[in-house]
A and B are shown apart, each in its own frame.
Chain A
Amino acid sequence: MRKRTAIRALRLVLASLPAAAPLLAGPPPEPPPFYAIEGVRVEVGDGTVLERATVVIENGTITAVAEDAAIPAHAWVIDGEGFTLYPGLIDAMGSLPQPRRSPGGPGAGGPGPGGPRRRPDPDRALPRGPEDRPLTTPWKRAADDLTLDTEAVEAWRKAGFTSIAARPGDGLFPGRLSLVRLGAPGRDPEHQVVAPELAQMATLSSGGGFASYPGALMGRVAYFRQLLLDAAHYAAATAAYEADPAGWRRPEFDRTLAPLAAVASGEERILLPGSSAVEINRALRLGGELGLDFTIYGGQEAYRLAGELADAGVAVLVDVDWPEPLPERDRDPDADRPLREILHERLAPTTPAELAEADVRFALSSGGADGAADFLAGVRRAIEGGLEPARALAALTRDAAAVHGLDDRIGTVAAGMAADLVLADGYPWQESTRVEAVFIDGVRYAVSDGDDGDDGDDGEDGESAQEAESAAAPDGAGPRGRRGRGGPGGRRGGSSEALAPMRLAEVAEKYAEVAGDGRVPMTGPYREDDVLAITGATILTMTGETIENGTVVVRDGRIARVGSGVRPPSGAHVIDAEGGYVIPGIIDAHSHIATAGGVNEGSLAVTSMVRIEDVVDPTDIGIYRALAGGVTTINVLHGSANPIGGQNQVLKLRWGQNADGLRFQGAPPGIKFALGENPKRSRSFGQGPRRYPATRMGVLDVIREAFTEAAEYQAAWARHREAEAAGERSRPPARDLELEALVEILEGERLVHAHSYRADEILQLLRLAEELGFRIATLQHVLEGYRVADEIAAHGAGASTFSDWWAYKVEAYEAIPHNAALMTDRGVLSSINSDDAEEMRHLNHEAAKSVKWGGLSDEQALALVTINPAKQLGIDDRVGSIEVGKDADIVIYDRHPLSSYAVVQTTLVDGRVYFDRELDRSRQLQLAALEAALTESGEDAGEGEEP
């Protein structure tokens, strides 16, 4: 009752203001900038509350916040009785509300997601390398274009938002964010800019496919790395010149590199994308590697990484546009949603709560949210997910300011701070809350119902309330375009199909409840024992020795003992493998699983700067399936789109660990080359101009040319080092990651894995490598290797081939299943690989084909998938055979592994049980039970209501 009276009183005060506006031709007059809000409850924004205070605003600044603050005589007094005053809400990263542009309008350097598709400019060549600076406009600022959609701005304002940390346009490096106030822009848009240069930003999300560089995710990461190196070099060269210009040529001004120099040196912050856990880990790694000052944005799966983020001291801008299922009517009733997706939907909104509890600095951002109502619905969901309302408010105010280094001026209700304030009768995200007034930079924007005095329906009806509000707004915006914007009860508020948020701990509890005894981990090893023994099996050690009824003892992940008379140590976990067969873990020398964002950076003929290690996806279920096929180590290769492809990464299949945890530490680095049809693009990869080379001649030319350049680069560095050593003045050459990788090849430090088919091209590559002074480590596919086996053996290259695939293209028409056997007979170190997520599940059977076709012995055949690929990859000191001291990567079969009927029973990596056939059955049942429990209808239904 009392509250009602207060509202009425306030309205009466407000009603007098805009009445005169229509009489004037220009904008309405501005009242004197002095206000006092009396008797109001104040949420300071830092967690503290003043139950009753007077807040004085003068000339855009808060001059007093106190219970007994003196009210200056010139101040306009507002009765705050029954209201709470908050700091104005800040969208920690969002897009400026701008009018929709017509296609062909100004962009930010190229097409981006959601951006208008533009006709390619025929005069502008497609980016052909990092030097073309694709989609890179770091000189731009979001505040450069303040053409705002006034209605949209108003909608945000009415919801209590006073500023947006606005992102620049699209692109890989689109420019800097600016903090822009949401005051009426019509008057003086520049005036609304609080900070034009908050931070640089990178996206890693727009790519050119095969048409332009960078096309794949790993290409974008590589470009990121190279660009920052270039910026650092630019800064150093410029500084050196400035310090001592005499005798030096002046470094040319570069508007792309200049603004990034401070990012490269860690002096200016950059926002890095990271929504999924894999992406967040990638951002942490990249930022750390390059020594950047960075903030992560996205953060929706940060609930899994709160501890890591706290340790790294990295702040997160959490996108509150939470994942949601498709509405029931749009879903295929037959479609089975992955448990992972269901879990993520329930866990994502708990990210803010998890981060708050782990003391990670974070703020909330609108991300993909469609307007203020969506944003606030997302905040509500975060609160349902455990975020304390006070922390929610802080995240939307002080913390958002603090993340961007502006908390000394905005974000709290305190004397001296800018007067960006919200007066409301509840928390801004509560659907029942009515925002009465918003102050931006001391200018008051009335938001209430206006003066119609109709109290009958002003309660929850957002739209009618807004309609009235428009007329009362100081900018005089017309009553158009309100639908769906601002106000409570937007789209998301009405969504009822998202299930209630659930914390990780709750999921774990639920899982424990439904899984019961014998619960197995959802991901990760089934068993971890310090000491373990496998007994009773026939052990095919791959050292030439077969041990009947043998025992393998594993201690701390390594093989401790192997023999027939060996007793399991006391306390060891014993795996009874009686009647079974034990072999070393299978090694697949050619795989593309566990990658994200494409395995081909196909835009350029040479992409030696791109790295598979940047895009390892440890969540790929293919890893688990490979373990179930006895595979423990894989060589993840770049694709074959170009003569010199990207850098490969050898992984151990430690399922459940992150990308770093999967890396095979100590495995020599390598790179992919490719010959024949794929790099010369006999087959077309979509539109766009054809890329050199188009023939096998050109493929060789590209490789020769690249190494010529690399040798020059190598020499330039050598000259520089010599000069430095001699105390002469010398500038370091600019680092070039593409050429560095090639120099490593020349220096014998990087293994070349060359995709090849025809005998002639194989021979030509061997001869070219010899000419250039390096050795090919492995020929991959090498389907006609049998025709030049002697030459391959003489060169010293390994050969990794398919068992029996053929005729899928012309250069595979001469393939024979005897290839591995014939090459083995001729002294080539040979292996059988899969190149395929399915084929890799039965490489033991594929190896058996070399017994049938070509007559290898069983031992030789098994070597094709164990010790031989280990040697080819330079990791045979660690894996590939069962020997004391080697890693305990072991597979147990129920019968001889070359039998078509052999089934993997257990797979160990580093002595841990990552696959077990019995436990897998439990896993299936338990995960199904968890899924059922998580999707039970009614039980945890969301709290939203139908619109």
Chain B
Amino acid sequence: MRRSGLSGLRRVLATAAFLPVALLVAPEAGSAQTLAVEGGTVHPVSGPSFEGTVVVRDGLVEAAGADVATPAGADVIDAAGLHVYPGLFNAFTSVGLSEIGSISATQDTTELGDTPHVKAIEAIHPASEIIPVTRANGITHTVSAPSGGPWAGQASAVVLDGWTVEEMAIEPSVGLVLEWPSLETREFDFSTFSVREKKFSEAKRDYDRTVDELGDWIEAARQYDHARSNAGSGTAVEQDHALEAVARVARGELPLLVVADRARAIRDAVAFAEEHGVRLVLASGRDAAMEADLLAEKEVPVILGAVQALPVQEDDAYDGPFTAPGRLHAAGVRIAFGTFDSSSARVLPYETATAVAYGLDPEAALRALTLGAAEILGLDDRLGSIEAGKWANLIVTDGDPLEVRTEVRHVIIRGRDVDLSNRHSRSYELYRSRPAPP
């Protein structure tokens, strides 16, 4: 049996890593053939766990089971005593779109104005240092989403490995991000460092107008669609990329990924989706647990933002944000998790672990991080579980991936056992080897 060793290129890089120069980690070649993960406890998520082998060929899971044999000539990962899970899915991030928080030149998240037609994948930077840092913690794929708007643009699903964004792409458009308008009667005034009260009626009027305008977009897109598809050639209707993008939502091809936090916004977004006949996925959803029954009834899934968050109001339960995912799940709402940023995308499992500590069923948590997220985003035909025919995005760990102290030993993306070194590990190794000063 051949061990899965360092490729020649990676050996070069591993040496290079000791230079005080940041170098990119080489994405794996696209020529991976057959890999067997042997003897681990496999948690396929789609079914019960078992001790056995997962065989990966040409980027896909070929077989997984207790009695599956390792094909001859396969690279082998000895997972005895280890655990094999589907790769974790960070279902809402800005990975690849945002590099250094305070430097606007490195931000490609927020376009000016309403831009439903722009796509995250057209700006994702495959050489972002954040990508290898994130995957080293077991996150094999993310949704990278634009922000702003309200019509922010389209979110893209990518794997966290690839020489080009084409190699990273799972689905260029998994939904249209709509940042729901906010209605705030209390605003923090930086000039006086105090909270300022605004008249509710004023705030509500502005808010209602904005929401009406969102509806106008959908209806305009419908008419546009109708005109364009029925007018035949020589149409007088000029092409409009923005309306075309919204029309995909109107036709039900794409869900609206509505970023909303307050209960009112969530209720209104649900009503909006119903009124306009569009598919809704709620994102962020700070107050979603307050509307759990509504979300369950309307079958609106939620991609939850930070679990480790402060309660909004002084009187709120200290653990309200910790218990929210558990409450949503108990109410029958489908959930996934996102970190809604780039540099901390790797903490996804720990945010989720807090939800488990405060009541979310552990199996539901694992599902939310894998198959559940894939289902919500319409990617479960390819991702989310260890089943024959699915993309081989796997992680091999020495324990529960939600536990901080667990080590991620292997990250397999589309069948490739990717290098776990990254900007952080290289700096660590480099300076760990720094000789004591004279």
Contact = CB atoms under 8 A, between A and B. Distances in A.
B103 interface: yes
Interface stretch (B64-72, B159-167, B246-254, B311-319): B311-319
Interface of A: 113, 209, 326, 329-336, 338-340, 597-598, 621, 624-625, 628, 677, 683, 686, 786-787, 789-791, 804-810, 812-814, 816-818, 822, 825, 837-839, 841-842, 845, 848-849, 851-854, 898-903, 920, 924, 927-928, 931
Contact of B186 (A335, A810, A853): A335
Contacts of B346: 804
A841 B307 CA distance: 12
A221 B356 CA distance: 46
Contacts of B103: 809-810
Contacts of B358: 903
B318 A625 contact: yes
A807 B342 contact: yes
A812 B313 CA distance: 31
Closest 4 CB pairs of A and B: A900-B353, A807-B343, A808-B101, A809-B102
A333 B185 CA distance: 10
Contacts, number: 155
Interface stretch (B73-81, B231-239, B372-380, B425-433): B425-433
B99 A807 contact: yes
A598 B193 contact: yes
Given A807-B343, A809-B102, A900-B350, A339 B315 contact: yes
Interface in B306-336: 308-311, 313-319
Interface residues of B, number: 62
A113 B353 CA distance: 47
Contacts of A338: 313-315
Contacts of A839: 308
Interface in B153-200: 183, 185-186, 190-193, 197, 199-200
Given A625-B310, A900-B354, A808 B343 contact: yes
Residue picked from B353, B356, B407, B428, most chain A C-beta under 10 Å? B428
A809 B264 contact: no
Nearest to A808: B101
Contacts of B191: 209
B102 A810 contact: yes
B421 to A, nearest CB: 12
A931 to B, nearest CB: 7
Contacts of A597: 193
Contact of B431 (A786, A805, A807, A813): A786
A791 B310 contact: no
A789 B431 CA distance: 9
Contacts of A333: 200
B2 interface: no
A822 B432 contact: yes
Contacts of B101: 807-809, 812
B403 interface: yes
B424 A851 contact: no
A845 B350 contact: yes
Contacts of B100: 807-810, 813
A334 B263 contact: yes
A838 to B, nearest CB: 5
B436 A790 contact: yes
B319 A332 contact: no
28 contacts: A326-B199, A329-B200, A329-B201, A331-B200, A332-B183, A332-B204, A334-B264, A336-B313, A339-B314, A598-B193, A621-B314, A625-B310, A683-B102, A786-B428, A786-B431, A807-B342, A807-B343, A810-B102, A810-B103, A814-B427, A818-B425, A822-B428, A841-B308, A851-B405, A898-B405, A903-B357, A920-B318, A927-B315
A899 B403 contact: yes
B347 A804 contact: yes
Given A808-B102, A852-B404, A340 B314 contact: yes
A903 B353 CA distance: 11
Nearest to A686: B190
B260 interface: no
Contacts of A899: 403-405
B130 interface: yes
B344 interface: yes
Given A790-B436, A852-B404, A900-B402, A816 B428 contact: yes
B308 A838 contact: yes
| Interface residues of A, dominant DSSP | loop
B406 interface: yes
B262 interface: yes
B424 A818 contact: yes
A791 to B, nearest CB: 7
A786 B427 contact: yes
Contacts of A810: 100, 102-103
Contacts of A625: 310-311, 318
Nearest to A619: B314
Contacts of A598: 193
Contacts of B432: 818, 822, 825
Contact of A898 (B404, B407, B427, B434): B404
Contact of A332 (B200, B309, B344, B405): B200
A201 to B, nearest CB: 21
Contacts of B263: 334
Contacts of B314: 338-340, 621
B354 A842 contact: yes
Interface string B117-153: 0000000000001100000000000000000000000
Nearest to A329: B201
Given A807-B342, A845-B354, 5 more contacts: A326-B200, A809-B102, A853-B424, A900-B402, A924-B317
Given A332-B203, A809-B102, A791 B437 contact: yes
A851 B350 CA distance: 14
A565 B51 CA distance: 43
Contacts of B356: 900-901
Contacts of A898: 404-405
A583 B168 CA distance: 45
Nearest to A341: B314
Contacts of A789: 431
Nearest to B430: A787
A330 B200 contact: yes
A838 B309 contact: yes
Nearest to A620: B314
Interface in B69-116: 99-103
A902 B405 CA distance: 13
A853 B137 CA distance: 11
B218 to A, nearest CB: 25
B318 A628 contact: yes
A91 to B, nearest CB: 26
Contacts of A928: 315
B368 to A, nearest CB: 15
Residue picked from A625, A813, A825, A849, most chain B C-beta under 10 Å? A813
A919 to B, nearest CB: 12
Nearest to B197: A326
A812 B342 CA distance: 14
Nearest to B427: A816
A764 to B, nearest CB: 15
Given A331-B185, A787-B431, A808-B100, A838 B310 contact: yes
A329 B437 CA distance: 70
Nearest to B190: A686
Nearest to A338: B314
Contacts of A330: 185, 197, 199-201
A338 B358 CA distance: 24
Contacts of B130: 807
A516 B427 CA distance: 59
Residue picked from B263, B318, B346, B403, most chain A C-beta under 10 Å? B318
B48 to A, nearest CB: 22
A331 B202 CA distance: 10
Contacts of A809: 100-103
Contact of B357 (A852, A902, A924): A902
A114 to B, nearest CB: 11
Contact of B406 (A113, A628, A852): A852
